[in-house]
Amino acid sequence: MLLWAVLPLSLIINFIIFENAYFSDPFITVAGTLITFSIIGITFLLYRAIGKSFRQRFPRDSDFFKRTMLLIFFFLLMSALVILGLFSIYVGTGLLQDKNYENKFTWAYLVVGIVNIFFAFLNEGIFSFERWKNELNETENLKMAYKQSQLMGLKSQVNPHFLFNSLNSLSGLIQEDTVRAEKFLDEMSRVYRYMLRNEETQLVQLAVELQFIRSYFSLLKARYNEAVELQVDINEGDKEKLVPPLSLQVIIENALFQNKTAKDSPLVIRLASDDGEAIIITNNVQRKVMTEIVEYEAGLDNLVKRYQLMNQPPVKIEEEATVRRIRLPLIRQTEEVMV
Same domain, yes or no: 98 and 170: no
Same domain, yes or no: 86 and 206: no
In a domain, 143, yes or no: no
Same domain, yes or no: 198 and 279: yes
Average pLDDT, the chain: 81
- Please tell me what DSSP assigns to residue 2: I
pLDDT given for residue 339 in this prediction: 43
Same domain, yes or no: 58 and 178: no
In a domain, 150, yes or no: no
Same domain, yes or no: 167 and 305: yes
Same domain, yes or no: 118 and 180: no
Q: What residues contact 187, with CB distance under 8 A and at least 6 apart?
A: 215, 218, 219
The rounded distance, in Å, linking the Cα atoms of 155 and 146 is 14
Same domain, yes or no: 167 and 130: no
Same domain, yes or no: 167 and 220: yes
Strand, coil or helix: what is 56? helix
Strand, coil or helix: what is 92? helix
Q: Which of 101, 136, 171 is the last residue of a domain?
A: 136
- Mean pLDDT, to the nearest integer, of 201-208? 88
Q: Which domain holds residue 117?
A: 2-136
With cut-offs at 50, 70 and 90, classify the pLDDT of residue 239.
very high
- Mean pLDDT, to the nearest integer, of 164-182? 72
Same domain, yes or no: 120 and 172: no
Torsion of CA 174, 179, 181, 182, to 10 degrees: 120
The rounded distance, in Å, linking the Cα atoms of 269 and 254 is 11
In a domain, 334, yes or no: no
**What pLDDT, in 10s, does the model give residues 282-300?**
999 998 876 555 555 667 8
Q: Which long-range contacts (CB under 8 A, 24 or more apart) does 88-95 make?
A: 89/35, 90/17, 90/18, 90/32, 90/35, 93/31, 95/18, 95/28, 95/31, 95/32
As a whole-number percent, the residues of the chain with pLDDT over 70 amount to 86
In a domain, 338, yes or no: no
Q: What residues contact 217, with CB distance under 8 A and at least 6 apart?
A: 228, 230, 252
Higher pLDDT, 59 or 151: 59
In a domain, 302, yes or no: yes
In a domain, 35, yes or no: yes
Same domain, yes or no: 119 and 29: yes
The total of other beta-carbon atoms located within 10 Å of residue 82's CB is 20
Same domain, yes or no: 129 and 233: no
Which CATH number is 279's domain given?
A: 3.30.565
pLDDT reading at 68 higher than 50: yes
Q: How many domains does the chain have?
A: 2
pLDDT given for residue 47 in this prediction: 78
With cut-offs at 50, 70 and 90, classify the pLDDT of residue 181.
confident
**What pLDDT, in 10s, does the model give residues 31-44?**
888 888 888 888 88
Q: What residues contact 315, with CB distance under 8 A and at least 6 apart?
A: 303, 304, 307, 326, 327, 328, 329
- Mean pLDDT, to the nearest integer, of 154-159? 47
Give the CA count within 13 Å in the CB-facing half-sphere of 7.
5
- Mean pLDDT, to the nearest integer, of 317-327? 93
In a domain, 147, yes or no: no
Q: Which of 136, 170, 193 is the last residue of a domain?
A: 136
Same domain, yes or no: 203 and 287: yes
**What pLDDT, in 10s, does the model give residues 12-22?**
888 888 888 88
